[in-house]
A and B are shown apart, each in its own frame.
Chain A
Amino acid sequence: MSFVAVSDLYKSYGPAPILERVSLQVPRGEFVTIVGASGCGKSTFLRMLLGQEQPDRGRIAVEGMPIPGEPGPDRGVVFQKYSVFPHLTVLQNLLLPAEIEKSPWLGRLFGESRKTAKAEAEALMEKIGLSHAAKRYPAQLSGGMQQRLAIAQALLKKPKILLLDEPFGALDPGIRQDMHELIGEIWREHAMTIFMVTHDIQEAFKLGTRLLVFDKVRHDPQHPGAYGATITYDLKLNKPAIASGNGPDESEAMPGDAAKEEAIP
């Protein structure tokens, strides 16, 4: 059984189909990058994995269980922007997950529990290089710093799956390089399964262990919106899921269905 199993997904907005016949098996620890033309439904696919949108037909299961119909803490997310809370400082943003978890009514921690959460947040800030900016608000951070904060915040819940929707799309090339290293490290260290939508094909090849291309297979020139997109290429990139040596579940990372490398159409 695959970690993430998507079977025969169909989604339309009104009469226009967006995605059709999308099936996918992803083993644990894979870094899946998703590319495709604008409007081909790759972000829609990610939102369905997230639970933000529901498929019209088909199902998505994680570890054999259908995913709940709303976002939850087992699936973390980083968007291109608005992924952190503008009214909270860097430190407050990183304290928020603990506050939410441990204080259902006040949403705030005091005394010992706050100290523990603060220590964890500070350690994380150190790691992502934001210690000097602890008291700053997101609007006072550069784009790269905001995204690092967003990733760190998502990691605090230790999600099994991390969903990235063009997370580095708005960043300068140099900063993007740094972010690639950061996300690579995090992926290896936390043994997460990552789905990342990107516009940057080089980024997709560089980071991913598996590359999905979304596109329309069928075209009706009289009626361009008649058919939805599906996965047209499913490439196993030439590196093991979770870099060999330090992956905790290496054995699982060699999927039984690796044979599905050939292009589908």
Chain B
Amino acid sequence: MRLINREPSRPVAIGLALLPFIALILAYVIASQIRLAENPSDKLLPSLATMGESMWNIAFVPDRRSGDLLFWVDTLASLQRLFIGLFISGAIALFVGCLAGFFPYARSFFAPFVAAFSLVPPITILPILFITLGLGEAAKIGLVVIGTTPAMIRSLAQAILAIPEEELVKAQTLGASSWQIITRIFLPQVWPVLLAALRIGLIPAWIFLVSAEAIASTEGLGYRIFLVRRYLAMDIILPYVAWITLLAYLTDRMFAWASRVLFPWAHLKGGGL
């Protein structure tokens, strides 16, 4: 049988999926052991045990100065900023994207501006945000919003434009008013697109969140990574990176699951990720 026609069985597929992860961890452990054998106080590739110990201390032993469990304080602060930011950008995108999708006048008004604005590198706006909004939460959330909104607006407006005109005409022949067409035909078809846009927005959202935290913050996952960098504390940085990745993955899965449960009709064609 040709290779292109061979499909792995389920256990084989799971095994193949796990292989790169196992290989990465194995490679790390070997490299770490080689370095530590030469110099037991090497900080660059700490052993898994050292990482576990450091993480235990930061997660379950109260900080000597503040008495906080730093790992959970960081996680909570970052997730809070991330979700507030995504909520705001989702709301803006829904509003502007729908206007631009429904009404040609609104499209002419918004489209060029959104296209131009989306090309401004968001990180260059960060100093402006710090100057105008101060170093508090608003600036960090603002950066997440600015970094994710333009792309979300565009994908929502695009999705509304992609609704076939036939549906619009058919609704009119059923006697629907403009309001009923928007609330019963358009909006229900926009919700799953909003969830998909939020999933895509997750990646830039994390990038800008960590950047903002790195520059000015007193807690947060990004803040911690850049703080302990000064002490070459790879035993904290590496687990934090893995933790951020896991959080991003779980958030993405959560949105995907919510979309499938709430809008089953939107997941009938093709597989999708």
Interface residues of A (CB under 8 A from B): 50, 52, 70-73, 75-77, 79, 81-89, 96-97, 99-101, 104-105, 107, 137, 139-140, 150, 153-154, 156-157, 159
Contact = CB atoms under 8 A, between A and B. Distances in A.
A77 B268 contact: no
A86 B264 contact: no
A73 B175 contact: yes
B159 interface: no
B38 interface: no
Interface residues of B, number: 25
Given A72-B175, A137-B265, A157-B175, A96 B184 contact: yes
B173 A76 contact: yes
B175 A100 contact: yes
Nearest to A108: B184
Interface of B: 164, 166-167, 169-177, 179-180, 183-185, 188-189, 263-266, 268-269
B269 A85 contact: no
18 contacts: A77-B170, A82-B164, A83-B170, A86-B265, A87-B265, A100-B175, A100-B180, A100-B184, A104-B179, A104-B180, A107-B183, A107-B184, A137-B264, A137-B268, A139-B269, A140-B268, A154-B170, A157-B173
A79 B170 contact: yes
A85 B172 CA distance: 13
Nearest to B177: A104
B166 A81 contact: yes
Contacts of A82: 164, 166-167, 170
Given A105-B179, A107-B184, A73 B263 contact: no
Given A137-B265, A139-B269, A83 B166 contact: yes
B196 to A, nearest CB: 14
Nearest to B264: A137
A243 to B, nearest CB: 26
A110 to B, nearest CB: 15
A52 B169 contact: yes
A6 B243 CA distance: 71
B169 to A, nearest CB: 5
A140 B170 CA distance: 20
Nearest to B185: A85
A154 B264 CA distance: 25
A79 B172 CA distance: 14
Contacts of B189: 86-87
Contacts of A73: 173-175
B170 A139 contact: no
B267 to A, nearest CB: 10
B172 A71 contact: yes
B186 to A, nearest CB: 10
Contacts of A104: 177, 179-180
Contacts of B180: 100, 104, 107
Contact of A87 (B166, B174, B266, B269): B266
A159 to B, nearest CB: 7
